[in-house]
A and B are shown apart, each in its own frame.
Chain A
Amino acid sequence: MIRLENISKHYETTRGDKTVLHDINLQIAPGEKVGILGRNGAGKSTLIRIMGGVTLPDSGTITQEMSLSWPLGFDSGVQGTMTGLDNINFICRIYDVDVDEVLPFVADFSELGRYIREPVSSYSSGMKARLSFAISMAINFDCMLIDEVLAVGDQRFKERCHEELLVKRKDRALVLVSHEPGMIREICDSAYVLVEGHLHHFNEVEEAYLFYTGTMQ
């Protein structure tokens, strides 16, 4: 179980403080697929970064009883100055995973071919996303945090992700954050809608979808 209780977060801007998250409560059960819908700037990325331990909240508590991936998104957790292979080595060392064991999978899934020995800064955003995704799946977290990343990939990447995440790892939890309801409606068990820093919970994804489209009017 992962539990966020009364999480608040503000940023300082030149025109005064802006609160991006107001008193957020959220929980994720083992194996649960949770969607978080929100428009651009609603605070989705901040929320997923707080879950991933990248950003610290101002107040509130997080209880973490499952392992959580880093937030997989445009900002992908791989380093531009290092080669793909060095990134794999580095991240495996950090999470105590045997590189030799996971390398075949990572190389196959990321489809980087000989680019795996080139610096990541020379990769396209799709290549970066595939690499970051492949490494995180090899580590086998209990819960994956996904921030719009599926939008980056092409059809083939999406199909392979689908296979890996929802078929092979269907016992694992995942949090999918997006402004685009399609994927969330397709795969999530429950959904939240984030509107101006306030989080609304819905047991049924369709209710969340209707509420979300309502906020767009």
Chain B
Amino acid sequence: MIAKQLLLPVRTKTTFYGSLQIQLRVIGALFMRDIIAKFGRHGLGFLWLFLEPMMFAVGVTIIWAYTSHTQGNIPVAAFILTGYSGLVLWRNLVNRLMAGVASNKGLLYHRNVKVIDLLYARSIMEFAACTISFILLSVIFSALGLMALPDDPLKTLVGWALYAWFAFAFGLVCAFMGSSSEIFDRVAHILIYLSMPLTGGFAMVTWLSPEVQNILLMSPLVNAMELLREGYFGMSVKAAYSVSYILEVNLCLTLVGLILVRSIKRQLIDS
């Protein structure tokens, strides 16, 4: 006796919609798994997701608030919070994507799980953690009277999203490099550290000399941070950025990243 389902016309190909459903399901499962793996079920549990970046940002804000100064009438706390939140997002996202493939190799044992799904799940988690931390700290700092809430929240969010998008696209390329070269794995942390000035967190571009400005504005992160800060501080800062430049770089880099990620599985298994 043959089961009914075997007698039905068999599907040789899944539709786009069918595949999308599978992919969303898999990303959801990976996301839940990552949360449990990272935070366990005990104590503060998943609160650590954003407590960790928050504590980091608070510590750094306190230190920097005493050691640095800003130009014009920008509150120091807000300036540091925006810059540092961006830096944490950049560093965490890239590091997590780079390490993401090798440490989850075993999950690829299930045919529905693709390398890109591992990377999506991690990116969503890291982005969510940093965003919640950023928003909560903005609310807390403003409640304490250290700063005002963003002047233009939408513009702030667009800047934040473009910033995260670049970090994600760059992370895709790093995920590929990390899984194909051991040397890259070792030097990447140094590169991320040295990239700090290019995140735009330390100063507004217009505060600097024209030569330095030209160099910094080649970094999409700097452009996105300028946009974010214009949204945050309104017209009290003079921001320099080009949204179309960020979009161009992000799109190209995402395309390259996706192509590279496709080839990771073959390398991983055969090595």
Contact = CB atoms under 8 A, between A and B. Distances in A.
A-B interaction? yes
Interface of A: 1, 11-12, 30-31, 52-56, 63-66, 68, 70-71, 75, 77, 79-82, 86, 89-91, 93-96, 142, 171-172
A34 to B, nearest CB: 16
A142 B4 CA distance: 11
Contacts of B106: 77, 79-80
Contact of A65 (B2, B12, B36): B12
B11 interface: yes
A77 B108 CA distance: 9
A79 B6 contact: no
B153 interface: no
B111 A171 contact: no
Nearest to B109: A77
Contact of B32 (A63, A79, A93): A93
Interface stretch (B51-59, B142-150, B163-171, B263-271): B263-271
Nearest to B103: A81
Contacts of A95: 110, 112
Contacts of B108: 54
Interface in B93-109: 106-109
Given A65-B10, A90-B29, A81 B37 contact: yes
24 contacts: A11-B270, A30-B2, A31-B2, A53-B111, A54-B111, A54-B269, A56-B269, A63-B12, A66-B10, A70-B109, A71-B109, A75-B109, A77-B106, A77-B109, A80-B106, A82-B36, A86-B36, A93-B28, A93-B32, A94-B26, A94-B29, A94-B112, A171-B2, A171-B6
Q: Top 10 A-B pairs ranked by shortest CB distance? A: A53-B111, A93-B29, A65-B10, A77-B109, A30-B6, A171-B3, A171-B2, A90-B33, A94-B29, A55-B269
Nearest to A49: B269
Nearest to B112: A94
Given A30-B6, A94-B112, A96-B25, A65 B11 contact: yes
A91 B6 contact: no
B139 interface: no
A83 to B, nearest CB: 9
A25 to B, nearest CB: 18
A31 B6 contact: yes
B216 interface: no
B188 to A, nearest CB: 24
A56 B269 CA distance: 8
A78 B11 CA distance: 28
A96 B25 CA distance: 8
Contacts of A90: 29, 32-33
